[in-house]
């Protein structure tokens, strides 16, 4: 019987080689747009007309334009918007998710309907938000952008965390109550640490959503409060798309996210799968 399970080593080796080829192909497919953007950022106007041109003398003209365009201020603004959005979403969302998980707040309608707003196209929400921003005199500021981003990020973070709270054993929390903590202390000191991976994963997810958003930022805060995607879109001028400069700007936007995900990818996967088990 056992011979059934012993595989021919030669066969295994061949499969491994084939597998590596497939992986390499997939890797190239994913990496090639990045490489294209990377090359484009060092090309001159005429070279850009030839997308397949690989051997050329790089010039830094595009980068000079981008670095003088206030892109770092925009990146800082995007980072601030992302961090504030995520902080609020985690604080509010974790408490909301805990309440929905433990006390069935709002019944199953809340539990599963919380993502309903995600079905709406952003265009439906943006004009009410713009009107509100005018009335509150926060139009053109990052406050309005953060509010808009919360409408995207908060429901997702909450929904995502419900599964993590479901998975945290109730007895541990009850033990904390008996051991001398109040309900809120037990939540903060005992329950939250158990859903740490979920909080990490949803924070990263929320940050990326906020960091990449163009639509809300473009309408609610153009001009002096432009975030990074708005700044990138700005290279689409009335004279045409400044492809080289835009490529350089895209790299500025992508690189921090790439670096961050390289360091946290393991936690991210663990966090996502940890929650997924419960759904």
Partner 1 sequence: MSSVVLKQVEKAYGPVLAVRGIDLVIPDGKFVVLVGPSGCGKTTTLRMIAGLESVTSGSIFIGDKDVTNLEPKDRDISMVFQNYALYPHLSVAENIAFPLLARGANRTDIQPRIDEVAAALSISQLLNRKPKELSGGQQQRVAIGRAIARSPRVFLFDEPLSNLDAKLRVEMRTELLRLQRELSTTAIYVTHDQEEAMTLSDIMVVMRDGLIRQMGKPDDIYENPVDTFVAEFVGSPKMNMITGKLEGNRFASPTGVVTNIQSSNHHNVIIGIRPEDVLISGDVANGMAGRIEIIELLGPRAIVTVKCSNQRITAVVEMAHLLGLTEGLEVGVNLREGRVHIFSVEDGIRITS
Residues that bind partner 1 (CB under 8 A): 169, 171-172, 174-182, 185, 190, 193-194, 196
Residue closer to partner 1, measured from CB, 105 or 185: 185
Q: How far is the CB of 197 from partner 1 (least distance, A)?
A: 11
Q: How far is the CB of 123 from partner 1 (least distance, A)?
A: 43
State how far the Cα of 169 lies from the Cα of 181, in Å rounded to an integer: 17
Pairing relationship of beta strands 240-241 and 236-237 according to DSSP bridges: antiparallel
Distances 120 to 62, 103, 116 between C-alpha atoms, Å: 38, 28, 8
Q: How far is the CB of 180 from partner 1 (least distance, A)?
A: 4
- Decide if 77 contacts 210 (C-beta within 8 A): no
Q: How far is the CB of 102 from partner 1 (least distance, A)?
A: 13
Residue closer to partner 1, measured from CB, 80 or 270: 270
Q: Please say whether the dihedral angle defined by the alpha carbons of residues 44, 48, 49 and 50, taken in this order, is positive or negative.
A: positive
**Torsion of the alpha carbons at 124, 127, 132 and 138, rounded to the nearest 10:** 120
Residue closer to partner 1, measured from CB, 64 or 104: 104
Residue closer to partner 1, measured from CB, 58 or 169: 169
């Amino acid at each position: 019987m056992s011979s059934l399970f012993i595989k021919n080593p030669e066969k295994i080796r061949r499969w491994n080689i084939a597998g590596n080829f497939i992986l390499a192909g997939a890797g190239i497919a994913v990496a090639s747009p990045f490489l294209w953007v990377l090359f484009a950022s060092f090309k001159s106007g005429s070279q850009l007309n030839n997308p397949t041109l690989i051997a050329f003398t790089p010039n830094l003209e595009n980068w000079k334009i981008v670095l003088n365009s206030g892109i770092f201020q925009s990146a800082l603004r995007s980072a601030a918007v992302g961090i504030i959005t995520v902080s609020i979403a985690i604080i509010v969302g974790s408490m909301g998710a805990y309440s929905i998980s433990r006390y069935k707040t709002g019944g199953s309608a809340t539990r599963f309907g919380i993502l309903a707003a995600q079905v709406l196209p952003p265009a439906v929400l943006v004009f009410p938000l713009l009107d509100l921003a005018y009335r509150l005199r926060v139009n053109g500021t990052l406050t309005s952008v953060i509010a808009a981003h919360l409408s995207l990020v908060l429901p997702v973070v909450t929904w995502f965390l419900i599964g993590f709270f479901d998975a945290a054993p109730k007895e541990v929390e009850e033990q904390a109550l008996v051991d001398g903590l109040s309900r809120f202390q037990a939540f903060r000191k005992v329950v939250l640490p158990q859903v740490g991976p979920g909080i990490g994963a949803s924070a990263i997810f929320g940050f990326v959503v906020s960091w990449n958003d163009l639509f809300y930022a473009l309408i609610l805060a153009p001009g002096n409060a432009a975030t990074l995607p708005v700044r990138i879109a700005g290279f689409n001028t009335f004279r045409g798309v400044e492809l080289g400069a835009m490529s350089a700007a895209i790299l500025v936007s992508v690189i921090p996210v790439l670096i961050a995900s390289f360091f946290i990818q393991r936690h991210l996967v663990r966090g996502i799968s940890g929650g997924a088990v419960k759904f």
